[in-house]
Amino acid sequence: MNLQNDLLLRAARGESVERVPVWMMRQAGRMLAEYRAVRQRAGDFITLAKTPELAAEVTIQPVDLLGVDAAIIFSDILVVPEAMGLPYEMVEARGPVFPTTVRTIADLDQLRLADAETDLGYVLEAIRLTKKELNDRVPLIGFAGAPFTIFCYMTEGKGSKTFSIAKKLLYTDPVFAHALLQRITDSTIAYLRAQIRAGANLLQIFDSWAGILSPEQYRVFSLPYIKQICDALNDPTGGEIVPVTIFAKGAFFARQEIGQLNCAVVGLDWNMEPRESRALIPGKTLQGNMDPCVLYADFAQIRAEVKQMITSFGTQRYIANLGHGVYPDTDPDKARCFIEAVKEFGVK
């Protein structure tokens, strides 16, 4: 592998970099007119995600249009439950919905272990196509949801502010909860290994709903499954080893424990202060954490915020990003301003 721009990989591995690498969560998305055009051609979100040529096209757009230092494969964390036998729909302005939910061992018995090559071949094909078309300009990031976050959607059936149905099951039927979490974990490990074989250069685990759990529940129902994934991906008998990023939104209370996992990078949201996070997570690369709402500010303020962020994190062992996905109504010129400011202020 001879990447022309390997800043992200070197930063992830803790190697010295001449400048801070930068990308944006949800950079391939509705913010870009060019993305919206492809999505309209596809008809809907799920068709777009399932058509490798189109998924590869929108994956590469931000590299050309925004100048980011990495591409992230265009997909969705909910392809894993679908591959386990639980299809979902994407409802406009409402988000994902599972017509059937999984709330008992009997429900779980209806599901299979996802087979990455057959059930998720379209993602792997999109990765291969993207790698070919990227032509080693920048690294490609693969990803999956953390088991607890996937559990939330499979049990609740839709997005929720509290996920109280999902959390209720942790108390009323912990045996079922652990069985489902284990099935998701096994499916996810197979899926992420297949992503590496297809060409992913780095993997990110999104625990988007980490913040709804108490510290104790997080230690029981989320961390052990993320640990299994990290350990499996760090096993050289499983194939090539690539850096892994854990992004557990809202889990400020678990930073120390996440920092002790077999991962290279820890992602931070904008609630988590850079210097405090450095102290809690020594020896890892940190990623984040600007509030995506800062991109609504004027150019001067965006530049000032980026400068401040880099001063707080430092230029080494650091990957600049937002603290959450970019909002769809963001002006792409503001996103470019963010990226260019990192390139300007992030020089060693």
**Chain residues that interact with a copy of itself, rule: CB under 8 A:** 159, 161-162, 164, 167-168, 170-172, 211, 214-215, 217, 250, 252-253, 270-273, 291-294, 296-297, 301, 323-324, 327, 329
Q: What gap in Å lies between CA 126 and CA 74, rounded to an integer?
A: 8
**Cβ 221 to a copy of itself shortest distance, Å:** 11
Catalytic residue among 10, 35, 39, 88: 39
Output 250 or 332, the one with its CB closest to a copy of itself. Answer: 250
> What does DSSP assign to residue 326?
P
State yes or no: is 26 an active-site residue.
yes
**Cβ 180 to a copy of itself shortest distance, Å:** 17
State yes or no: is 136 an active-site residue.
no
Output 117 or 331, the one with its CB closest to a copy of itself. Answer: 331
**Cβ 190 to a copy of itself shortest distance, Å:** 31
Q: How many CB atoms lie within 10 A of CB 166?
A: 24
State yes or no: is 219 an active-site residue.
no
Q: What gap in Å lies between CA 307 and CA 229, rounded to an integer?
A: 35
Residue type, 233: L
**Cβ 282 to a copy of itself shortest distance, Å:** 19
Catalytic residue among 153, 191, 218, 225: 153
CA-wise closest residue to 112 among 195, 180, 207, 192? 180
Length of the chain: 348
Sequence-ordered alpha helix ranges (H) in 253-292:
255-259, 274-280
Q: What gap in Å lies between CA 181 and CA 170, rounded to an integer?
A: 11
Q: How far apart are the first and last CA of the chain?
A: 25
State yes or no: is 317 an active-site residue.
no
Output 11 or 32, the one with its CB closest to a copy of itself. Answer: 32
Q: What gap in Å lies between CA 278 and CA 268, rounded to an integer?
A: 11
State yes or no: is 193 an active-site residue.
no
Output 163 or 191, the one with its CB closest to a copy of itself. Answer: 163
> What does DSSP assign to residue 267?
E
Which residues neighbour 71 within 8 Å (Cβ) at sequence distance 6 or greater? Answer: 23, 28, 59, 60, 62, 63, 130, 134, 138, 139, 140, 141
> Is the peptide bond prior to 262 cis by the omega test (within 30 degrees of 0)?
no
Q: Which helix (H) or strand (E) holds 341?
A: helix 332-345
- 193 backbone dihedrals φ, ψ, rounded to 5°: -65, -40
Catalytic residue among 6, 10, 69, 76: 76
- 247 backbone dihedrals φ, ψ, rounded to 5°: -120, 100
**Cβ 50 to a copy of itself shortest distance, Å:** 26
**Cβ 149 to a copy of itself shortest distance, Å:** 14
Output 122 or 270, the one with its CB closest to a copy of itself. Answer: 270
Catalytic residue among 26, 193, 303, 317: 26
Output 85 or 159, the one with its CB closest to a copy of itself. Answer: 159
Catalytic residues: 26, 30, 39, 76, 153
